[in-house]
């Protein structure tokens, strides 16, 4: 989000989802698209069906790599090397769009100077991707008119996540693949309303609509509207906040997040939570964080309330009530209105639509959007500045929103924690098709349990054999921060030296293992790289059910055994 | 470039099929195996039309419009063909529209009624076999299948996993998997696209059947946005008006952005949590003894407000942290930041997704 605001002036997908099927070249990096965004994967598959070419850059073999022309299997955390080397090739071979660079960008010289040092040959030794593949990808990307970049958390969940986004932006700007249909830069948002939560100002530095809290003009507008003085000091981002829980942070209000599952290095967070004065949790279920809560407020789910979500392509869409919430549960917005009233703030909203109207009134990007307009047709894509505006299908048409696209020269920084003799494996974490994040919802479903009944870790045959591990067996995974037990899947999906684990399971919390080292700008933690070791568990320590090998059905990458 | 359809002179773009041109003009040509998301198959023969100068009737779904072509969709010959064809399909299908429609509406019965196809042709011996499949979501009912291959083509072309395919020959042609395995043991991702595209309800949701839910026609559909990933798929919550519960989730018509009638396993099936007995139904507060106990909204909200304000009084506003959620609505995120900034005076407000 912050990366793209800096380089282009808006942190969102520049294209629409519907445009993906018309792309001719797809560069998918750090996105397990068919599992995390299945419907976007379907659009990509349609493009391929039409004859498009796809390159997937990912340390793991995923379903999309089966469909790709090339799989750039880079070492975890070496993205900047790969991307700078691609920029190197584009400049060296004269494939840049000089007119676009001259008219629409600034700072190209610095990037040119930096990437001159990132030769594909040296990149091969760092990333593990053959130099020829880097050259081929760079050429195809630069010379295809409708070329789009698609990325997800494999790019951002690093201590150098913002650098990765900068390096990708540089490729876009030097080739002029922006402001056109099916050509652009597309972060695929992980949650239904990632875009909307940021748009609405749930951010320590931005008021609604990306207006900075340290901008006196923006603040004055809200001070007048809300009738109270506002703090000009940027707040703590989530990563800092979690590190300061129990220290500076003595009281927490947590809505709809299970922080002791989803945040990194949770044993430290839990120690902090034992030292806070007061915690309120507002959720659908008695989640794990409720163990630390003083007050728990039961909330309605999406099918039980009115509102809007904003998707990855900036489309504001309606959430509509179909059924009543269970028992006394209430919509989050209703609870917030009542809570505010007891804290001395009488807001007086009687519907979600009124809340949206206030949001739109002071944020020009959304000013033309309302519940009523969405109800007349389909969702509207921002920017949508007035009631007549039809919404914006793709961004930066006829000029970069920021004015000039900002090149950002970035140097490679290795991940914070690299493997060593004690912890020789690289652990990455992620999401699977059948489960969703903290899995408070999907664990309560039949399909997920039929396909993935237990927590697991993927390990390469070579690493498994060296440790005497068979597929389906219980193993122990440890890092400097914690230990969890789960099943091993001996899999071709990971490469030797790497292991991969989904974050969904409360009985084997991947985030006991992960590091909370964060990106210096966004605070996003390095969920994708930390040093780990696995070992076979002594049969004597297992209970009856653990001795039986677990069955993960239809796992097409599994090498052998009962999985 | 122009063609004439039923006397109308129509312009078309090169590459368009007769069916596409006709539908754009609002002319109705019946189809069973056609789905705009799929390559034309020309398999069901329902969409045959007459073209002047052509001896055979071509399938309009798979025949490209050509300049100067004269097409007739409502001739006596076309009508006779449609009635006979649909009567044959009905003979190889569950007898009676009511018996058939225990799930989604059956396009075959509706179409047969529309063209006046005879319904009294002797039913064929049912020879098409299904299979028992312990997967929790997708049911294949062989007695309703007409082997139009929409499901298998969807699986290959749109979902691109090819978990199901046509197996067998002739009247025994059915929908199968490798080694007749359960979908759970194949590359199937349980997206349920086969259900969405099936014209006859042969591929259908398993759980509504088990729960004896009313057929889809009697359900109330509420259009909303999926609550999982950031694609923002539009979906229809199908509510049983008698029980006021969600019976199933279906996708809106093809062409509706952003998902074009597609859904994934989570969007289509992972709604069991809504009715789950683990849902919180009452506010809880922690008592002196450290245990949680039930409380009224008044008591819980008072406790929450006093607790948060107490922290502010003791340590200042920046000792508070507000964790909002990218799973909640725009409105709710707006209110959390307003609560944090305007009611408590701190910018310590964030959620897990700001990268």
In a domain, A49, yes or no: yes
Q: For chain A, how many structural domains are there in total?
A: 3
- Please indicate whether, in this complex, the C-beta atoms of B297 and A263 are within 8 angstroms of each other: no
Residue A453 — very low, low, confident or very high, per pLDDT cuts 50/70/90? confident
Chain B residues closer than 8 Å to A247 by CB: none
Handedness of CA A41, A65, A67, A136 (dihedral sign): positive
Q: d(Cα A321, Cα A301) in Å, to the nearest integer?
A: 9
Q: Can you name the residues that pair with A105 across neighbouring β-strands?
A: A405
Mean pLDDT over B115-141 rounds to 91
Is A389 domain-assigned? no
What CA–CA distance (Å, rounded) separates B252 from A76? 39
Which pLDDT belongs to residue A561?
Answer: 39
CA angle A356, A361, A365 (to 5 degrees): 90
The token pair at A65 is: 């790599």
From the list A39, A295, A444, which residue is nearest B272 (CB)? A444
Output the pLDDT for position B171.
87
Last-in-domain residue among B50, B74, B98: B74
Q: Whole-angstrom Cα distance, residue A10 to residue A314? A: 11
pLDDT band at A557 (very low <50, low <70, confident <90, very high): low
- In which band, very low, low, confident or very high, does the pLDDT at A562 lie, cut at 50, 70 and 90? very low
Q: Which of A3, A237, A343 sits opposite B305 (nearest CB)?
A: A343
Q: What is the DSSP letter of A114?
A: H
Position of tokens 């506003």? B317
Q: Which residue range is the domain that position A487 belongs to?
A: 425-547
Residues A83, A116, single domain; the answer is yes
Number of domains in chain B: 2
CB A64 within 8 A of CB A45: no
Residue B203 belongs to some domain of the structure: no
User: What CATH number has the domain bearing residue A318?
Assistant: 3.40.50.740
pLDDT of residue A554: 67
CB contact under 8 A, A193 and B136: no
CA separation for the pair A51, A30 (Å, rounded): 23
Residue A102 forms part of a structural domain: yes
Residue B140 confidence class, pLDDT cut points 50, 70, 90: very high
- Domain limit, last residue, from B29, B58, B74: B74
User: At residue A171, does pLDDT exceed 70?
Assistant: yes
CATH code (residue B62): 3.10.20.740
Query: How many contacts (CB atoms, under 8 Å) link A and B?
Result: 497
Residue B260 CA to residue A481 CA, distance in Å, equals 45
Q: What is the rounded CA–CA span in Å between residue B136 and residue A382? A: 39
Angle at B119 between CA B116 and CA B124, to 5 degrees: 140
Backbone phi and psi for residue B244, each to the nearest 5 degrees, phi listed first: 55, 35
Task: Tell me, yes or no, whether A78 lies in a domain.
Answer: yes
- Flag whether B26 is in a domain: yes
What does the pLDDT look like over A260-310, one tens digit per residue?
988 888 899 999 999 999 999 999 999 999 999 999 999 999 999 999 999
Instruction: Single out the residue of B90, B151, B101, B100 nearest to residue B124, CA to CA.
Output: B90
A563 pLDDT higher than 50: no
Does some domain include residue A86? yes
Per-residue pLDDT, averaged over B130-136, amounts to 88
Question: Has residue B65 been placed in a domain?
Answer: yes
* Lowest mean per-residue pLDDT among A385-394, A548-557, B15-24, B277-286: A548-557
Residues of B in contact with A302 (CB under 8 A): 224-225, 227
B70 within a domain of the structure (yes/no): yes
Of the ranges A95-99, A455-459, B75-79, which one carries the lowest mean pLDDT score? A455-459
Cα-based distances in Å from A34 to A40, A319, B75, B88: 8, 25, 46, 40
Question: What value does the CA radius of gyration of chain A take, rounded to a whole number of Å?
Answer: 24
Test A39 with B312 for CB contact under 8 angstroms. Answer: no
State the Rg of chain B over Cα: 27
Nearest residue of chain A to residue B324 (CA atoms): A255
Residue B68 CB contacts under 8 Å (≥ 6 apart), including other chains: B2, B3
Q: Check B331 against A355: CB less than 8 A apart.
A: yes
Tell me the percentage of chain A whose pLDDT exceeds 70.
98
Mean pLDDT, chain A, rounded, equals: 92
* Whole-number pLDDT of residue B210: 87
Domain holding B44, by residue range, is 2-74
A166 with A73, same domain? Answer: yes
Please report which confidence band the pLDDT of residue A525 belongs to, taking 50, 70 and 90 as the band edges: confident
Give the residue carrying structure tokens 């479903």. Answer: A445
Cβ–Cβ under 8 Å, residues A376 and A310: no
pLDDT in tens, B203-214: 999 999 888 899
Tell me the C-alpha distance between A429 and A158, whole Å. Answer: 11
Residues A458 and A343 in one domain: no
Cis peptide before A383 (omega within 30 of 0): yes
**Which pLDDT value is given to residue A76?**
92
How far lies B85's CA from each of B32, B93, B105, in Å?
11, 13, 20
Tell me the CB-side half-sphere exposure of residue A1, using CA atoms within 13 A.
Answer: 26
Nearest to B319 among A191, A248, A304 (CB): A248
Closest Cα to residue A184, out of A146, A219, A210, A155? A146
Kindly state whether residue A392 falls inside one of the protein's structural domains: no
Q: With the CA atoms of A458, A461, A467 and A469 taken in that order, what torsion angle do they form, in degrees rounded to the nearest 10?
A: 70
CATH of the domain at A27: 3.40.228.10
Interface touch A257/B351, C-beta < 8 Å: yes
Residue B283 falls within a domain, yes or no?
A: no
Q: A192, A242, A506: which to substitute to probe chain B, counting the most B Cβ within 10 Å?
A: A192
Residue B355 has pLDDT above 50, yes or no: no
ipTM of the complex: 0.91
């Amino acid at each position: 989000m912050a990366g793209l605001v800096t380089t282009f002036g808006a942190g969102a997908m520049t294209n629409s989802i519907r445009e993906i099927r018309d792309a001719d070249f797809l560069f998918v990096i750090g996105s397990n698209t068919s599992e995390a965004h299945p419907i976007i994967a379907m659009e990509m598959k349609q493009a391929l069906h039409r004859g498009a070419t796809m390159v997937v850059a990912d340390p793991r073999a995923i379903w999309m790599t089966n469909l790709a022309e090339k799989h750039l299997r880079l070492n975890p955390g070496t993205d900047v090397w790969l991307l700078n080397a691609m920029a190197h090739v584009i400049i060296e071979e004269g494939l840049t769009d000089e007119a676009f660079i001259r008219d629409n960008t600034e700072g190209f010289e610095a990037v040119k100077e930096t990437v001159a040092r990132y030769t594909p040959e040296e990149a091969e030794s760092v990333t593990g991707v053959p130099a020829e593949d880097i050259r081929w990808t760079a050429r195809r990307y630069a010379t295809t008119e409708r070329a789009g970049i698609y990325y997800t958390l494999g790019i951002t969940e690093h201590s150098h996540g913002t650098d990765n986004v900068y390096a990708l932006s540089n490729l876009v700007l030097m080739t002029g693949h922006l402001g056109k249909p099916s050509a652009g830069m597309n972060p695929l948002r992980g949650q239904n309303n990632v875009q909307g939560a940021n748009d609405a100002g749930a951010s320590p530095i931005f008021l609604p609509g990306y207006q900075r809290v340290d901008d006196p003009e923006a603040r004055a507008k809200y001070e007048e509207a809300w009738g109270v003085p506002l703090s000009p000091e940027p707040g703590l981002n989530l990563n800092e906040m979690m590190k300061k829980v129990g220290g500076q942070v003595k009281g927490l209000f947590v809505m709809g997040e299970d922080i002791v599952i989803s945040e990194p290095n949770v044993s430290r967070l839990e120690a902090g939570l034992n030292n806070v004065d007061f915690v309120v949790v507002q959720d659908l279920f008695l989640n794990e964080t409720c163990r630390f809560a003083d007050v728990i407020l039961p909330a309605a789910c999406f099918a039980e309330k009115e509102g809007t979500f904003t998707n990855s392509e900036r489309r504001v869409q309606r959430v509509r009530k179909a059924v009543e919430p269970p028992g006394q549960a209430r919509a989050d917005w209703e609870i917030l209105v009542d809570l505010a009233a007891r804290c001395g703030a009488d807001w007086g909203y009687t519907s979600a639509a009124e809340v949206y109207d206030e949001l739109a009134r002071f944020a020009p990007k959304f000013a033309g959007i309302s519940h009523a307009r969405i109800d007349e047709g389909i969702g509207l894509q921002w920017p949508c500045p007035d009631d007549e505006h039809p919404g914006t299908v793709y961004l930066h048409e006829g000029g970069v929103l920021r004015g000039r696209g900002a090149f950002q020269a970035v140097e490679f920084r290795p991940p914070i924690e690299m493997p060593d003799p004690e912890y020789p494996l690289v652990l990455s974490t992620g999401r699977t098709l059948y489960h969703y994040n903290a899995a408070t919802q999907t664990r309560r479903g039949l399909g997920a349990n039929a396909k993935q009944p237990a927590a697991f870790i993927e390990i390469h045959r070579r690493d498994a054999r060296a440790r005497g591990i068979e597929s389906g067996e219980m193993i122990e995974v440890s890092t400097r921060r914690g230990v969890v037990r789960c099943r091993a899947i001996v899999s071709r999906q990971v490469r030797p030296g790497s292991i991969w684990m989904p974050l969904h399971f409360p009985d084997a919390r991947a985030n006991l293992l992960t590091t909370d080292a964060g990106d210096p700008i966004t605070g996003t933690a390095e969920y994708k790289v930390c040093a780990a070791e696995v070992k076979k568990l002594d049969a004597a320590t297992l209970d009856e059910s653990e001795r039986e090998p677990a069955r993960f059905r239809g796992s097409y990458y599994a090498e052998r055994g009962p999985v | 470039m122009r063609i004439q359809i039923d006397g109308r002179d129509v312009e078309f773009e090169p590459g368009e099929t007769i069916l596409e041109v006709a539908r754009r003009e609002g002319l109705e040509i019946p189809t069973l195996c056609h789905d705009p998301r799929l390559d034309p198959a020309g398999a069901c023969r329902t969409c045959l039309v007459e073209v002047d100068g052509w001896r055979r009737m071509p399938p309009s779904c798979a025949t490209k419009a050509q300049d100067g072509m004269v097409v007739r969709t409502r001739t006596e010959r076309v009508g006779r063909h449609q009635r006979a064809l649909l009567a044959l399909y009905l003979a190889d299908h569950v007898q009676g529209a009511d018996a058939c429609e225990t799930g989604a509406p059956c396009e075959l019965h509706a179409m047969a009624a529309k063209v006046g196809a005879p319904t009294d042709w002797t039913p064929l011996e049912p020879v098409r076999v299904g299979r028992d499949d312990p997967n929790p979501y997708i049911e294949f009912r062989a007695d309703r299948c007409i082997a139009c291959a929409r499901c298998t083509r969807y699986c290959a072309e749109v979902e691109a996993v090819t978990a199901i395919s046509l197996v067998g020959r002739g009247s025994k042609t059915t929908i199968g998997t490798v080694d007749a395995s359960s979908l759970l043991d194949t590359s199937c991702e349980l997206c349920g696209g086969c259900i969405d595209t099936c014209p006859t309800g042969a591929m259908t949701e398993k759980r509504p059947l088990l729960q004896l839910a009313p057929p889809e026609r009697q359900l109330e559909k509420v259009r909303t946005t999926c609550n999982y990933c950031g694609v923002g798929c539009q979906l229809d919550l199908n509510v049983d008006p008698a029980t006021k519960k969600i019976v199933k989730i279906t996708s809106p018509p093809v062409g509706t952005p952003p998902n074009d009638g597609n859904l994934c396993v989570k969007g289509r099936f992972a709604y069991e949590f809504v009715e789950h007995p683990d849902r919180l139904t009452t506010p809880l507060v922690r008592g002196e003894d450290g245990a949680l106990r039930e409380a009224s909204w008044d008591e819980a909200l008072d406790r929450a407000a006093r607790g948060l304000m107490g922290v502010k009084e003791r340590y200042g506003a920046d000792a508070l942290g507000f964790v909002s959620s990218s799973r909640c609505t725009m409105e709710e995120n707006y209110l959390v930041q307003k609560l944090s900034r305007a009611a408590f005076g701190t910018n310590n407000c964030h959620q897990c997704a700001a990268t």
